[in-house]
Structure 1
Amino acid sequence: MDQAVLTFHNQLKEEVQVFYTSDYCHKCVYQHLATVKPSNKNTSTVISTKFTLSVRVESQSRNSTLCSWSRTYREGGHYCIWLQTLDGSTEPTCSHTLNKSPNNTYLPLLVAALLLAVIALLIVVVPYVYRRRCTSPFLRTIFCRGPQYSVDNDGAHANETGQSTAKAKPTRLRSLDTFRGFALTVMVFVNYGGGGYWFFQHAPWNGLTVADLVMPWFVFIIGTSVVLAFRSMQRKEVSRLQLLRKFSWRTAVLFLLGFCFINYSPRDGPLSWSWLRVPGVLQRLGFTYFVLSLLQTFWGQKEIPLKAYHWWNPVQDVVLYWPQWLIIILLETLWLCITFLMPVPNCPTGYLGAGGIGDHGLYPNCTGGAAGYIDRRMFGDNMYRYPTCKEMYHTTQPFDPEGVLGTINSIVMGFLGMQAGKILIFYKGTNIRILCRFLVWAVILGISAAILTKCTRDGGFIPVNKNLWSLSFVMCTGCFSFVLLGAMYLVIDVKDWWGGQPFIYPGMNSIFVYVGHSLLGFYFPFSWEMHFQDSHWEWLFQSLWGTTLWVLAAYFLYWKKFFLKI
């Protein structure tokens, strides 16, 4: 899977060397691919089809490049490259032929997308039809017949329906639960392999894929939830000491779950400090939650001020929280200073690359720059050993995407979520203002990310990088978060076009689903040993199957009114 075969036919009278590099690999050193003997000899080799490859053929006797090209090869294809000299010419040429047509790798994804679209349509349409079965003139003729649905009773029935709907209207922000559940569902799908597609896996270094969006969405949701939950508790006159106890306990439980349980796998044998990873996803979420809770406890406004006129009214949700903003600005300044000014031994100051063979191979042991150096000094080998850059960049240094320095920007991302929560509170009842402010924040963050990256993957001031949790990564994913939450708020809470199903169920039992799929996800019936590993069909089916089972488990718990909380 994600591989093709290249066969080089050498009709020249000299031996040639073939080198390659991936166009996704930033300034990477060319790697040796094959040696092809002269005089009608051929050599076959397997290549990756995930990204575009740049290939060049070199002659040692001439000490020159005979030919070079850049091409995206497709999975399962058998390609031939003919090295020959054409009649009447002394210069060698390289020509391509296709021996075996590649597979249609996106067909499984297309079929799955169509099936999911039909299921989603049924999930949305069936409840809507059921609610309107006796209020719509057309549906009433089909579903509701009898004296109790006569014309005389239409007004009374409509009035009763309106009253029951008004009484049943939930006070909980369903869009936030749906957003959380959507992010969690995508996370489970990605952790099951995402069908083997590269865009459902984390980017090798710089850049952004679907998998890279999930973690910042969670952090954003944590910030929004902190504001809404603490405002409710503060109105109940819960003391600061009680708040401290509550979020300190929750932080400790998240740390414990992440450190002792999510780290553990039966394949690793008994728990051992030699391989136990200190940083982790739940550890970062727990620490981020703790800092955001402190900000809201000590520097959060208890009541919205009266609607008196002030020059800062249009930005009152920012001005009234100036101590929080000051702390966040100081934290971001700290991140920028450490990242770009801290000297790292044998590495250039401010280095943001992956090291290895990247940047022309000049800094092989500088993976992550200051962020990687700090983590290696603090944790040694007790950190993530297989970073996403290892395969492409041939790195040898461990690097943890949940390291210390990136946690600072995780707090900044959570603070953007807090800003969304403040908007929901300040402008409650004026939905158009809420949506407009969400849009304004999305535009500001999007423009900021575009400036920092210069709209490129590798060439900007600060590239988008999930491993480093760079400032541009926070800006970019923050933009997406405001857009997605705003869209869900409009569709679910304002227009009531959608109830959030099925994502709302895992969203209301997120701890259970996350911990459960991490501990049990690779056991039957959630997954199994695949027999057709050269195809996306079985892998995609397994990924969707495991994800669906966890969504159904969350629905069962929702039906039983069981919600696992910390």
Structure 2
Amino acid sequence: MGATEQGSSRRRGADDPITTSFTGDDLDDVSLRGDSHSREPVIDAARQAATGQRAAAHAIESRAAEAGALESRASEPGAREPGARELRVSEPRVSEPRVSEATAPDSEVVDSAASGDTAAYAPDSADAPGSAAPRIISLDVARGLMLVVSVAVNAWITAPAWFEHAPWQGVHPVDLVFPTFVALSGAGLAFAYSRRVPLRPMVHRVVVLTLAGFAYTAHAQYLATGGLDLGTFRVLGVLQFYAALVLLVALAHLLVRRWWAWPVFTIVLAVAYAYALSWFAAGCPTGALTPQCNPSGVVDPAVFGAEHIYRQGRFGHDPEGLVALVGALVVASAGASIGHLVKSSRLPTARLLAVGALTLAAFAGVAAATAPLAPPMKRLWTPAFGLGVATACGAVLLLLYLVLDRPGRQPRGQVASVVTYPLIGLGRNSLLVYFGSHVLMTTLVLLPHGAKRPDSLAGRLAATAPGGIDEALWLVLLAVAAWTALAALLHHHGLYLRPSGGRRPRAARSDSESQPLTSL
């Protein structure tokens, strides 16, 4: 062994079992130990050890040289790199993380949330550098179930009065659809804003949703009246209402950062809103909220003008007005509470279930406690109504999480995958399906202009029902099948409606990731 190799060996130290070798001084030192009868065997053993160490060092140097040669050839144009990883035995292997929904930039994450293509991924405990956490599909499935009901409700053009919106107090089946969408959207926004709130994508999304709402209002007014009248143009609508909710939830995330603080924020807001409604009701002639005496009938006309609110102010309130927006924020915050619990907590499954059940019980208790202050009604989104809906949505979402996303669960079987696939497709394009089905059914019902419902395009389509099938049921089945097929097809091709738009660079997007369907 040369002097250079000896110096290298001394620098490595004698404790390294692979690189340590014996020098001549080492041999002399060993040979002086022991008595004269054992000196020769010790010297032979030392020489054999030194020979073995030199052979091992030579083998490592040879394999490193081979790996270097392969790397040099791989850098040439058109060169391949077979077996390069296997030969790098002296270096630790570091795998690059695959860019996915979980490792996407925050702007893409938040962009997906508002559109239904929520960047739902495993809790923070699974967010390890270099590994992509699996997508949480329970929120997609919950949205998909809600959208099946929503599309069916929109297509039932002959629904009885007890099914349609309640005139004032009370809750009818249709009253539950939009609040359910809001609660699940709150959970999705919790995933999106769990780390930070990117200002530019959020503002862009709010603006796009608002403009889309104006376009839908103009479309509906034109179909209903045959023209546009700015004097009676409704400023607020469902899409504008949803855009305002996205803005408020985003701003709330600047103040409320802990997952456990969201239930507290929700309860405080709900109680404050209930007492505000009760205080206003105390000044009404009957001592109760009525269509003729309620805060929406005062605030919304004062801000927008009576001619620019719901039904030109004839109904005395606006269910998508500024006052109702406070109640809707309670619903969205309750949904965000469940979303943050699933996304941000590091609780074991049993404790997660216990904390989730306790949170939902608290929401239900507050809903019951505030009912005497402001009775359940969707018209003003009272806390008794909103928290009741959010509690049911949270229970379904937690149950689906435990079944579909719980850590350590058994992989989904083929039957479960087939059943959940169309629901996931609906859930990831929830914005398109929810509002798109409204626009389409409004168009079919109002065309041709002035026609009654049986003579409208929707009525004619229902009349194509085969013998033995109710026409109303046939139209519902057609609508659900068509929107489910469209969503599944778009999901298969990775296309999702994103109001913020903007394509991620192709090199930074995996094949399985979504692409914007449109930027509106």
Q: What is the TM-score of this pair, normalised by structure 1?
A: 0.55
Deviation of 1:270 (Å): 3.0
Paired residue for 2:335, among 394, 414, 417? 417
- 1:174/1:493 contact within 8 Å kept: yes
Structure-1 residue corresponding to 2:432: 512
Which SS does the other structure have where 1:196 is aligned?
Answer: coil
Paired residue for 2:201, among 240, 246, 250? 246
Which SS does the other structure have where 1:274 is aligned?
Answer: helix
Aligned length: 344
Flag the structure with larger Rg: 2
Structure-2 residue corresponding to 1:376: 301
Structure-1 residue corresponding to 2:165: 202
Which SS does the other structure have where 2:498 is aligned?
Answer: coil
Cα pair distance change 1:253/1:492, threshold 3 Å: same
Q: Within 5 A, what are the aligned runs for 1:385-464?
A: 385=311, 397-428=315-346, 430-453=348-371, 460-464=372-376
- Determine which structure has the larger helix proportion and give its number: 2
Structure-1 residue corresponding to 2:260: 318
Structure-1 residue corresponding to 2:225: 268
Which SS does the other structure have where 1:478 is aligned?
Answer: helix
- 1:464/1:470 contact within 8 Å kept: yes
Structure-2 residue corresponding to 1:108: none
Structure-1 residue corresponding to 2:515: none
Amino acid at match of 2:245: T
Amino acid at match of 2:247: F
User: How far does the alpha carbon of each residue in 1:284-306 deviate from its partner, in whole angstroms, 9 at most, with x for none?
Assistant: 211111111112135425xxxxx
Amino acid at match of 2:285: P
Matched, 1:547 2:480: yes
- 1:449/1:476 contact within 8 Å kept: yes
Structure-2 residue corresponding to 1:25: none
Cα pair distance change 1:343/1:512, threshold 3 Å: closer
Deviation of 1:485 (Å): 0.8
Structure-2 residue corresponding to 1:219: 182
Structure-2 residue corresponding to 1:48: none
- 2:274/2:373 contact within 8 Å kept: no
Mind listing any 5+ residue stretches in structure 1 that lack a counterpart? 1-168, 235-239, 302-316, 355-365, 388-395, 454-459
Cα pair distance change 1:565/1:275, threshold 3 Å: same
Structure-2 residue corresponding to 1:86: none
Cα pair distance change 1:381/1:179, threshold 3 Å: same
Cα pair distance change 1:350/1:374, threshold 3 Å: farther
Matched, 1:479 2:372: no
Separation in structure 2 between the aligned mates of residue 384 and residue 503 of structure 1, nearest angstrom: 33
Structure-2 residue corresponding to 1:121: none
Deviation of 1:524 (Å): 6.5
Separation in structure 1 between the aligned mates of residue 328 and residue 383 of structure 2, nearest angstrom: 10
- 1:277/1:383 contact within 8 Å kept: yes
Cα pair distance change 1:186/1:199, threshold 3 Å: farther
Structure-2 residue corresponding to 1:147: none
Separation in structure 1 between the aligned mates of residue 143 and residue 152 of structure 2, nearest angstrom: 14
User: How far does the alpha carbon of each residue in 1:422-480 deviate from its partner, in whole angstroms, 9 at most, with x for none?
Assistant: 21134347222222222222222223333433xxxxxx442110111011012211211
Deviation of 1:406 (Å): 1.1
Cα pair distance change 1:524/1:183, threshold 3 Å: same
Structure-2 residue corresponding to 1:351: 288
Deviation of 1:199 (Å): 5.0
Deviation of 1:523 (Å): 5.4
Separation in structure 1 between the aligned mates of residue 361 and residue 281 of structure 2, nearest angstrom: 35
Deviation of 1:334 (Å): 5.5
Mind listing any 5+ residue stretches in structure 2 that lack a counterpart? 1-131, 446-456, 500-520
- 1:223/1:415 contact within 8 Å kept: yes
- Determine which structure has the larger strand proportion and give its number: 1
Separation in structure 2 between the aligned mates of residue 191 and residue 559 of structure 1, nearest angstrom: 25
User: How far does the alpha carbon of each residue in 1:17-60 deviate from its partner, in whole angstroms, 9 at most, with x for none?
Assistant: xxxxxxxxxxxxxxxxxxxxxxxxxxxxxxxxxxxxxxxxxxxx
Amino acid at match of 2:396: L
Cα pair distance change 1:277/1:416, threshold 3 Å: same
User: How far does the alpha carbon of each residue in 1:90-131 deviate from its partner, in whole angstroms, 9 at most, with x for none?
Assistant: xxxxxxxxxxxxxxxxxxxxxxxxxxxxxxxxxxxxxxxxxx
Separation in structure 1 between the aligned mates of residue 443 and residue 286 of structure 2, nearest angstrom: 46
Amino acid at match of 1:215: F
Deviation of 1:195 (Å): 5.7
Deviation of 1:342 (Å): 4.1
Which SS does the other structure have where 1:521 is aligned?
Answer: helix
Separation in structure 2 between the aligned mates of residue 340 and residue 461 of structure 1, nearest angstrom: 5
Structure-2 residue corresponding to 1:85: none
Separation in structure 1 between the aligned mates of residue 490 and residue 464 of structure 2, nearest angstrom: 34
- 1:180/1:507 contact within 8 Å kept: yes
Q: Within 5 A, what are the aligned runs for 1:70-469?
A: 171-193=134-156, 196-198=159-161, 200-231=163-194, 234=196, 243-265=198-220, 266-300=223-257, 317-319=259-261, 325=264, 331-332=269-270, 335-336=273-274, 338-342=276-280, 347-348=284-285, 351-354=288-291, 366=292, 369-378=294-303, 379-385=305-311, 397-428=315-346, 430-453=348-371, 460-469=372-381
Deviation of 1:247 (Å): 0.8
Separation in structure 1 between the aligned mates of residue 398 and residue 383 of structure 2, nearest angstrom: 22
Structure-1 residue corresponding to 2:35: none
Cα pair distance change 1:348/1:335, threshold 3 Å: farther
**Structure 1 stretch 408-417 or stretch 205-214: which is displaced more?**
205-214
Deviation of 1:408 (Å): 0.7
Cα pair distance change 1:200/1:181, threshold 3 Å: farther
- 2:267/2:366 contact within 8 Å kept: no
Matched, 1:562 2:504: no
Deviation of 1:560 (Å): 1.8
Structure-1 residue corresponding to 2:3: none
Cα pair distance change 1:199/1:553, threshold 3 Å: farther
Amino acid at match of 2:389: T
Q: Within 5 A, what are the aligned runs for 1:38-77?
A: none
Separation in structure 1 between the aligned mates of residue 375 and residue 398 of structure 2, nearest angstrom: 26
- 1:190/1:200 contact within 8 Å kept: no
Structure-2 residue corresponding to 1:140: none
- 2:232/2:312 contact within 8 Å kept: no
Separation in structure 1 between the aligned mates of residue 479 and residue 264 of structure 2, nearest angstrom: 42
Deviation of 1:562 (Å): 0.9
Structure-1 residue corresponding to 2:382: 470
Identity of aligned residues (%): 26
Amino acid at match of 1:554: A
Separation in structure 2 between the aligned mates of residue 225 and residue 277 of structure 1, nearest angstrom: 28
Q: What is the TM-score of this pair, normalised by structure 2?
A: 0.59
Deviation of 1:373 (Å): 2.4
Which SS does the other structure have where 1:385 is aligned?
Answer: helix
